[in-house]
Amino acid sequence: MKSLLDRDRACLWHPYTQMLTAPAPIPVVRAQGVYLYTEDGQRILDGISSWWVNIHGHSHPKLNEALAAQARQLEHVVFAGCTHRPAVELAEGLLQVLPAGLTRIFYSDDGSTAVEVALKLALQYWQNLGQPRRSKFIALHHAYHGDTVGAMSAGEESVFTRAFTPMMFPVARAHAPYCYRCPLGLQRETCRIDCLGDLERQLAAEGEAVAGVLIEPMLQGAGGMIVWPAEFLAGVRRLCDRYQTLLIADEVLTGFGRTGRMFACEHAGIRPDLVCLSKGLTAGYLPLGATAATEAIYEAFLSEDRGRTFFHGHSYTANPLACAVGLASLAVFREDGVLARVQALERQLRAGLEPLRRLPWVGDVRVIGGVGVLELASSEAGYLASAGPRLYQEFLSRGLLLRPLGNVVYFLPPYVITEAQADWALEQIRGVIEAFGSVT
């Protein structure tokens, strides 16, 4: 009989995978807590929370029960013209934990579509207000917002997007506060967040044509796990207010506790006009996106003129199974002291990774909430840096699943990871990174 891997090879095409040269995929048969169990009997620690989605651990009893109970009741129904309890209750629950002033939830399918919805809402908001000139977006260098065309356009040009340039629309780009590779060559200890000046100059020049500024607050993910000073985030809000444009926060990665607060915007005490959510929204169970909006944005779409409607929707909008799990996840946050656990993990990551700074080949160590990052001071930077695949194999051979972003190694486990499990993972990371210099 053919193995699962042979059958996979015969019919599948994996995401972000060069099918000619990539190592064979890991055949996972079940998962529990922080561990994945493979067909050939291995146990692997999921150090990237299954592409950053899992927060309470795999196969969580409360989430399993919520999913099964919902499946017995209502698996799905069209959301245009119908409603259901899971969609309403999840929206109510989200609005309770989101920054005050966000009052409406628009559901979609995943992180990319949550971003598409935000961009389209922003654009049409200004049209509905009679200001169609506000049609441009500003995003940041190193940004990543997803792989659909609008989300790609908002992301930094990179190997991910190059082939698709002809189908993308122009988005202006301002400096990000990437302190280790400061765009202005300054030092964080002495700078005054001078990098914000770039956004300010662009808003001063073009402010009246700008529909919105799109950011990944506090932690830019796929662009290199770049951790921000909170002052930059506060400054972006200030500038959007000054130039009267919308602030769109893509919290697809940072939402639901990943940075140690429920939402990353809380680090600067700001309220965006639109917030994009996905990933941790269903604790890693099912695809679901949500875009939260202020009442002012919502009201701009209310009209006797049906042409002002927001014409956007997906077949699986507000899928009840996904909403039911999302609701159960919010209950886990309330009942199980989840944020305190993330904050303890942050202290452990800092203590475990900071000592690696002494190695000449470790350029930077960054920690925020449940994310620990090592940026190798390699001359080859970026996603295609050859260190990535080599390190992936090294970690995997020790039973730890990490997917370095080229020369950036990060550890981003489910929050349920115990102190002992995190200690073990940090020991593997230290072992691999300490040995790495001798082979580069």
Q: Are 280 and 256 in contact (CB under 8 A)?
A: yes
Q: Which CB sits closer to ligand PLP, 250 or 364?
A: 250
Q: Which of residues 146-205 bind ligand PLP (CB under 6 A)?
A: 146
Considering all CA atoms of the chain, what is the largest pairwise distance in Å, rounded to the nearest integer?
70
Identify whether 279 is a catalytic site residue: yes
Annotate 263-283 with b (16+ C-beta within 10 A) or e (fewer): bbbbbbebbbbbbbbbbbbbb
x/- contact string, 101-140, with ligand PLP (CB under 6 A)? ---------xxx--x-------------------------
The span from the CA of 429 to the CA of 281, in Å, is 28
| Those residues with Cβ within 8 angstroms of residue 166's Cβ, 6 or more apart along the chain or in another chain | none
* Interface segment toward ligand PLP; rule CB under 6 A; list 39-47, 156-164, 249-257, 350-358: 249-257
Token pair, residue 281, equals: 């929204």
Point out the residue whose Cβ comes nearest to ligand PLP.
111
Closest contact distance (angstroms) between CB of 322 and ligand PLP is 12
Token pair, residue 187, equals: 């030092």
The span from the CA of 323 to the CA of 86, in Å, is 5
Q: Which CB sits closer to ligand PLP, 93 or 111?
A: 111
145 binding ligand PLP? (CB under 6 A) = yes
Identify whether 107 is a catalytic site residue: no
Q: Which CB sits closer to ligand PLP, 245 or 259?
A: 259
The span from the CA of 198 to the CA of 354, in Å, is 31
Q: From the candidates 144, 178, 316, 410, which is the catalytic residue?
A: 144
The span from the CA of 330 to the CA of 334, in Å, is 6
* Interface segment toward ligand PLP; rule CB under 6 A; list 40-48, 85-93, 246-254, 295-303: 246-254
341 binding ligand PLP? (CB under 6 A) = no
406 binding ligand PLP? (CB under 6 A) = no
The span from the CA of 246 to the CA of 429, in Å, is 41
Closest contact distance (angstroms) between CB of 268 and ligand PLP is 17
> Which amino acid is present at 60?
H
43 - beta bridge partners?
37
Of positions 48, 253, 300, 338, contacts ligand PLP by CB under 6 A: 253
x/- contact string, 209-228, with ligand PLP (CB under 6 A)? -------x----xx------
Q: Quick one: which H or E segment has residue 250? A: strand 246-250
Identify whether 6 is a catalytic site residue: no
Closest contact distance (angstroms) between CB of 38 and ligand PLP is 24
Identify whether 273 is a catalytic site residue: no
Residues in the chain: 440
Q: Which amino acids are annotated catalytic? A: 16, 144, 250, 279
Q: Which residues bind ligand PLP (CB under 6 A)?
A: 110-112, 115, 144-146, 216, 221-222, 250, 252-253, 278
